[in-house]
Each structure stands twice: as C-alpha cells, then as structure tokens.
Amino acid sequence: MNKLAEQQLLIDLPFMLSVSIVIILFTILFLLAALYFEFFKPSVVFFIALLIFMFSGILSPKEALSGFANEQLAVIVLLLIISDIFRKSSVIDVLFNRLFSKSSSTTSFSFRMMGMVASLSAFFNNTPLVAMMMPYVNRWAVKHGVASSKLLIPLSYAAILGGCVTLIGTSTNLIVNGFAVDAGFPSLSIFDFTAVGLPMLFIGILFLLLFGNRLLPDNKQKLEAMVQDDRKYFIEAMIKSDSKLVGKTVEKAGLRHLKGLYLVEIVRNNRSLSPVSPDERLQEEDSLVFAGETTAVEELSKKKLGLTLPKKVERMLDKRSSVNEIVISYNSPLIGEKVMDTDFRARFDAAIVAIHRNGERLQGKIGEQELLAGDVLLVFSGNDFISRSKNSRSFYILTHTEEAEDINVKKVVLVFGSLIAAILLSAFTSIPLLAGLSVVLLLAILMDIVPLDQIRRGLDFDLILLIAFGLAFGKAMINSGASVYLADMILHWNAILSPPVLLMCIFIATNLLAAYITNKAAVAILFPISLAVATSAGYNPIPYILIVSFGAAANFITPLGYQTNLMVYGPGGYTFKDYLRVGLPLTILYMLGASLILTYVYDL
C-alpha cells in the first residue's frame, strides 16, 4: 500500500464506523470492565453481551446459540470428563508416590515434578493435575524443610507449558480451533502446536530450574523454618457470658502474649475496635479476631483461656475431627458467599474456623467474610468430609492425607491406552478426535471405573457456557465488521512492523487481556482481529491463529490469568509481585520464541 492510499484510509476510518461496530466496541469495553471489576460471573457477562448483539440484530438467535453445536466444545467436555475419571481412579496418586519417593533435593524434586506434570498436561486437563499435586508438594516441602513457595509456582507453570504442546493440552487451544473452524478453516491438527510448544516447554523448565529458586520467595518463618509455613490465618473466638475474661482488660486477660496468636480486632455490637488497646475491657459476646498459625487454633479451644470457638467448631472438636487446609477453586460456587451463608457444616461435614488471604487484613467476624477464589481455609472436618467433597468443584484439599483407593490397574491402563490411540488416530487418520474420545468414555463407563453419577457431578457447566458464549461473541465481531475495522487500524503500521514483530504485538495484546480478565475473553476479542490482520495483509493465517492461542494460554504474569496460577496463589503465600518477578521474563522468552519459531516454520 502506497503512502497516498494509507493517508486516504486514515481519513476514511472515522466514516467506516457503522452502528454495529460502535455497538461491538462499547460492548467490548463493558465486557472488559465487568470482568475486571467482577460485576458478574464471566458466563453471565458474556450472556449479557450476546443479548445486546441479538437485540441489535448483529447476531441471530441461531448464531448466538451456535457455540453449543461447535465440535470443539464437545471435545473439551469429553476431555474434562476423561481427566476427571483418571483423577477419581487414584491411579495418578499411585504414580506420584512412586515417582517422588526417591527425590531428596529441591532441584531433583522440581525437575521430576515439572517434567511429569508437563508431560501429563499435554494430554489431560491441567487443573485436576495441579489440584492432585499440591498436597504432595506441601508434604515434601515440610518433610525436607523447604518452603512450598519455592515449588508451587513452578508446578503451575509446568502445567501451563505442557498444555501448550498439543491441541488438547488446554481448553484455550481447542477454543481457538473452534473459532478457526467457524471461520471456514480446516481443523488444526493435534500436533500443530508442538513446533512451538515443545521447545518452549524445555526452555521454560530450564529457566525455572536455573532462576526459579533465586526469584521465588522463601515464605517460611526464620525460627521454625524446618517445620512450619509462614501462613497466617484469621481466627475468630467468642467470649461466653460465664467466661472469666468478662470485665478484664486485654492485658490482664493474658491475650497479649499468646503463643502463635496476635489479637488484631474486637468486634462488639457489629462495631470494630482496632487496633486493640491493652487497656480495652472485654465484654460478654465480644468476638475476638486473631492472626495466627495453623497449630495455634488448638490453643483457642483450651478451657483455661475462657474463649470458645464457634459452636459448630466446638461440636466437631468433640468428635475428634481432623484439621485440614482447603483452597477455594477459581470457579467455586462459594465465591461471593459469606461464610455464615455457605451451610458448610451440612454440605461438607466440616466447619470453617479460619481464613488466610495472603496476609491481607480481614476486618469483622469470620462469618461475615465473603469468600474469594484462592482463599485458604482452615476447617475442622468430620468423617464424611472426604466423601462429600470428592466430587465438588468448590475447593481443593491441600493437607489431608487419605489412603489410595483400591483400583483395577488393568482397567485404567486399558482406558489410558485407548486415549493415546484416539489421539494418534486423530492425528494421522481421518477419524475425528470427537469420535475417538467418545469411544474412550464409553469404554470407561462400561468398565465401571467411576460411577456415572460422579461423572455428571464433576462437570463444570459455567465453563461450558463461557466457551459457547465466547464462540458466539467472536462470530458477532466478524458479522459486524469490527474485526476488519480494528485490523485495518493495525495495518497502518504494517510498513514498519515485520511479521515476527506483528506476531509479538498480537501475543502481547492477548496475553495482557488474559492476565487481567480471562483467557476466554482474550481469545474471543483478539482472534477475529488477528485473523483479519492476516487475511487483509495476504499472510498465511495459521501462525496468526496459533499466536492468539499461545498468547492466551502461556499466561504467567498474574495469579488471575490462569486457573492453576490462582490455585497456588493462597497456598504459596504469594503476592502479585512474585508472579511478575518470575512470570515476566518467562513471558518475554515465550513471546520471542513463539514469534520467531512461527515465522521460521511458516516462512513469513
């Protein structure tokens, strides 16, 4: 394009804005704001966007619902179910036990852990892999006197790196493939991602082994570095009417020097007293909020203190219940609920006694706290806790040690072999992956590896809705011409941007959106634009399709960008800076590597 034509296009751009494009652009702004500030659940935000598009005529009702008929969505659902079957069969637990029993050094453990998790996540859903691995990491860290914060981010990053190696390694890759098929392109191959994903996997693990220990924080207490984490919980206790503490000052009551506990707040008649003066006189039914360590909870239950834990907790203590740590999952139905409204005791046979939120100061009673994704909770659990929580998406168990279930190894190996066969047949024959995975699922059901009702309860319907709505959102951008309009604006820089630099720009834009919003939203917005850039400039569209997927999936710089990052956020005691310190150089490496490899492979 000559300079005169470029100048004319610059003049014409404002007049190319149709009503549909304006609606799309304002809807994108609404989408970003609503997701960032968490006005609603992501699936609800996308649903609102689709309603806007239908009422404005950008999408027909058939097009709005077309995402549910997309083959890639069905593939994602089947992969989630099959991954859940392997998780519930306990076969991976057996594999973990055998693999890590001989690891004695941090480097050896990290290498084995990252290598195995990355390998498995190339073919299985990485979320349950990380969930199953976290208790092993915590136990190994305590046993060997190592801070778990040195290991949990590498665990998450290894799962992300492995997921980028194949089409089925992460739902993001499958969603991008769904967009590509909807746009009229043939489906991507299982191993179309491998040329970039595999070398970047090796580079990423090497980076973490060489620099991870220096860059990651050591969140352990100096005095008790060999036995305990620096995790601080916020614990609530109440003063009974007959307590000997009534009328005494905080100082005289001996609450200033409790081992492992610090009185941070008194809640009296819904009014907060903080900081707490040593001369403050205690009253009946005062709620005392302490910051403390895991083991310090038991001290509050001692009668000599004259304090009582909430009644539900006391009843569970009488039953000699176990103490467990759990982390609220990224898609938990408990998010946004107050502790008192969760009915946790009836639902899970456990009582929430304390909350840890990465050192954040929590004000008010524990029961009034709204739960957030990544919160670590200390619970007193009864005998039915494990059985009731096993099929729940509400949280992951961090510290509970349960005996591995009896499993029929031959059955599991047969199903695993059939899964590998389905993947290879899809890659090298005309047999669709959907058909192969359906046979694998039928085989698992017929062999009764996991009861059918457990499979149904394990489905993540919010994720299914989000993906289907996201696919429709991308179609709306194409229908309205918004993707071409935005692509034309980008192409003004085409004269000075070489293909690899253009790929880097798309990677950065997708990665930043995924880091602070969601990777599903990032793909829905950037895929149509990236494709329009490639087609308008006459480039091979495949690398521009793939770079969106890598930009959204290879997300290391915030805990919000990927669900596994959020899962380890609370248990590792991390801050946003920790992710940025380790994740930013890794992201830059991935951006450079992916852009240059795609440029070379596709001869751009």
Q: What CA–CA distance (Å, rounded) separates 571 from 325?
A: 9
Q: What CA–CA distance (Å, rounded) separates 442 from 27?
A: 42
Tokens coding 131: 């969930």
Q: What CA–CA distance (Å, rounded) separates 44 from 466?
A: 8
Nearest to 515 by CA among 160, 78, 83: 160
Q: What CA–CA distance (Å, rounded) separates 583 from 555?
A: 8
How many structural domains are present in the chain? 1
Whether residue 575 lies inside any domain: the answer is no
Domain that holds residue 317: 233-397
Whether residue 274 lies inside any domain: the answer is yes
Whether residue 85 lies inside any domain: the answer is no
Residue 285 is classified by DSSP as T
Whether residue 503 lies inside any domain: the answer is no
Whether residue 243 lies inside any domain: the answer is yes
Q: What CA–CA distance (Å, rounded) separates 77 from 438?
A: 10
Could you tell me the mean pLDDT of each successive run of 10 residues in the chain, 604 residues long?
A: 41 57 86 79 85 89 84 81 71 67 78 90 82 79 81 93 91 88 86 94 95 81 36 68 79 72 75 76 80 58 58 47 74 81 80 71 70 80 74 73 55 81 83 87 79 66 80 83 76 70 90 83 87 84 94 88 81 84 94 94 85
CATH number of domain containing 286: 3.30.70.1450
| Residue 567 to residues 284, 361, 387, 563, Cα–Cα distance (Å) | 39, 20, 21, 6
Whether residue 260 lies inside any domain: the answer is yes
- pLDDT for residue 161: 95
- pLDDT for residue 15: 40
Whether residue 175 lies inside any domain: the answer is no
What's the predicted TM-score (pTM) here? Answer: 0.73
- pLDDT for residue 4: 36
Q: Give 437-506 as a 3 state SS string.
A: HHHHHHHHHHCCCCCHHHHHHCCCHHHHHHHHHHHHHHHHHHHHCHHHHHHHHHHCCCCCCCHHHHHHHH
Per-position b or e across 233-243, b if 16+ CB within 10 A of its CB: bbbbbbbeeeb
H/E run at residue 210: helix 194-215
Whether residue 2 lies inside any domain: the answer is no
Average pLDDT, the chain: 78
Q: What CA–CA distance (Å, rounded) separates 426 from 437?
A: 10
Residue 237 bridge partners (DSSP):
288
- pLDDT for residue 82: 79
Residue 16 is classified by DSSP as G
List of residues 6+ apart from 432 with CB closer than 8 A: 71, 426
Residue 281 bridge partners (DSSP):
249
Residue 352 bridge partners (DSSP):
379
